[in-house]
Structure 1
């Protein structure tokens, strides 16, 4: 890809490396299992079972197990592969030109597919590299690690298709094991070695015009973007995303990559864009256009009333955003009690991804808004955009996706409220109430005070509404129950000190 100036520039960071021999292109089928090699003696061909009553067989588990073993013995022997040749181990080091202080042990003269790791590996995989026992152990850890990890299944499938992405996956596994061992403050040399191999392979393939725009190269880049996001390395994220943009331009887009990779590109694009509050680099995938506009019911009455009134052209995108968020709220409120719903990583991207993309694509608040005749509408639009972005960020957290943007969003919202929210007049008073209540509930433990203070002013201005009535306005616009209800009663109590014993303000 001679016309691309980007060449994995982020990979120039000096890190240890390791040489690992790759396997032939056709791949090598890997299967690990426990080998016994025990041949039964003739005396073992007959088994005698003593039963005093037919029901004894149902009560004696050990007897039933012994019968099954005896019956399946011959079948198992026919299926069992020949015992592998004797193996001995050697250590592979990098050459002097690729200095490294880390070693990876590899078997010499062994049938790799028969090597058993230190514990039973229960996966059968077509690895994109020639693997050793350590590789099997790391992959076993990835597959069997307890707890829900979003996108794990997708990433294992992608990693098995490309050696560069596979090395990053191995590095992530090594890093996780290093943290489990209590060495999380020390850089894992094994992980750095795998990352270095992947980076060098990526740089080499980008210089090949035939491979530079291939699906494998894109998978490798996505692996490095994922690594950058998890390590909060936003400079690396920007470099790799820029490179991905050049590849998209050279190959005419990503339409042929399939749903999994296009969804990953969307997720990773949005992750950094939310941190910087910048426009997404890539268009929304065609299969997701309009997906968040579908709803089982009409918007709540107060939201409908807000949207049907004449509004400025400047506020129109905010109206569309409110409809999208209202639709998402319906889905969340219906399904939030299901534990499996919160583990649907791909469905989660389809649900909230288009809305986040739309919010980040909206016009930004103008710097010279005081000289604009409809400045109030610009303030209302930005208030909707930032509040909805924070709602989507909280949903990302609920779906267990990596988070980095919440603190910057909190700071941006607090500054915006203090500087501009007073300009909102009667037409947007209920929208302002919804934003105040939503933000106070989302920041209940660490930042609600600035919003409660503003609620006091609004309650005094709105015919002395009670705190429950004030919150009911928000509930009747957009209300995501799982995020907002847990602290709603506490928020009412926090607002009660503004009410005198006689019930007046």
Structure 2
């Protein structure tokens, strides 16, 4: 396999050096085959080189719109597959056939999400992006909650790409907290980053349920944990429901152990607000944005964990 791959790389290099062939459909297909190999073997440095080359070809050809939908699907999978691992902005725009989901009217949103959106002011890019991200994630949750009980739903690869692709692309295109210096951190920026990370983690878990590779899960969990330790204490007040949703969701998505950082923040929030009912936090998350397939199995155990952790911390 390695010998074949080396020969293929050499052949691709020859084609890229050919003025007649360097931007052809054949070269695009050749690069896509290498991107598939890189993602399968998690060779992300090579992925970056090939994806960068494909982006250059797209610019030289003034886009790749003429290619078939199936080719665009592979390009999107390749772009998002590595971009989410690197946590970078996608190299290419969404294909034109993937339209932006229609906005849901405020009265048709879950009650806690309604209340948040009716209070916030979209007076910054970060807040505007955070609100759109939440609306996109809610759109995905509606589809999954409606259809996810059927095993056949999770075997429809194209439907999975069409559902998750636009949301993941938007989340990866958002501004990042790392783009700001300590002196320029804002509350809106913190909120947007929390929404971005939690939403990416949700999309990653759904990717895996559709049987797509999701090697980024552990990395996202680490980022969310670090964000919680560093910044969760600054969030509350009018954003309390959003914070609780993020903490509950992060806890439910946590593989194995590692919930303590979220349980600690939930305990602090309960103490600060005078809340004594361990079920209230999970109920708040359910009334915000809830994925039944991801939360149902672990919700009761998480409620018990919150109760035990809060009781133990009070001793």
**TM-score, normalization by structure 1:** 0.59
Q: Is the 8 A contact 1:369 1:378 kept in 2?
A: no
Mapped to 1, the partners of 2:217 and 2:79 lie a distance apart of: 16
Matched, 1:229 2:39: yes
The correspondence for 1:334, drawn from 138, 142, 146, is 146
Structure 2: which 5+ runs fail to align? none
| 1:266-277 → structure 2 map (5 Å cutoff) | 266-277=76-87
Matched, 1:414 2:198: no
Measure how far apart 1:199 and its partner are: 2.5
Equivalent in the alignment of 1:363: 175
Aligned pair count reads 310
Between structures 1 and 2, the one with greater helix share: 2
Structure 1: which 5+ runs fail to align? 1-190
Equivalent in the alignment of 2:63: 253
Measure how far apart 1:367 and its partner are: 3.2
Q: Is the 8 A contact 1:211 1:217 kept in 2?
A: yes
Between 1 and 2, higher relative CO (CA 8 Å, sep ≥ 6) is seen in 2
Matched, 1:492 2:303: yes
Q: Is the 8 A contact 1:292 1:355 kept in 2?
A: no
Q: Is the 8 A contact 1:359 1:389 kept in 2?
A: yes
Equivalent in the alignment of 1:322: 134
The correspondence for 1:457, drawn from 254, 268, 276, is 268
Mapped to 2, the partners of 1:194 and 1:351 lie a distance apart of: 35
Going from structure 1 to structure 2, the CA distance change for 1:223 and 1:294 (only over 3 Å counts) comes to farther
The SS at the match of 2:131 is helix
The correspondence for 1:401, drawn from 212, 221, 225, is 212
Equivalent in the alignment of 1:475: 286
Matched, 1:283 2:93: yes
Going from structure 1 to structure 2, the CA distance change for 1:466 and 1:370 (only over 3 Å counts) comes to farther
Equivalent in the alignment of 2:25: 215
Equivalent in the alignment of 2:4: 194
Measure how far apart 1:204 and its partner are: 2.4
Q: Is the 8 A contact 2:236 2:243 kept in 1?
A: no
The correspondence for 2:166, drawn from 342, 354, 370, is 354
Mapped to 2, the partners of 1:480 and 1:244 lie a distance apart of: 35
Measure how far apart 1:488 and its partner are: 0.5
Mapped to 2, the partners of 1:326 and 1:388 lie a distance apart of: 10
Mapped to 2, the partners of 1:243 and 1:327 lie a distance apart of: 33
Alignment RMSD? 2.1
Equivalent in the alignment of 2:52: 242
Mapped to 2, the partners of 1:426 and 1:370 lie a distance apart of: 23
Equivalent in the alignment of 1:389: 200
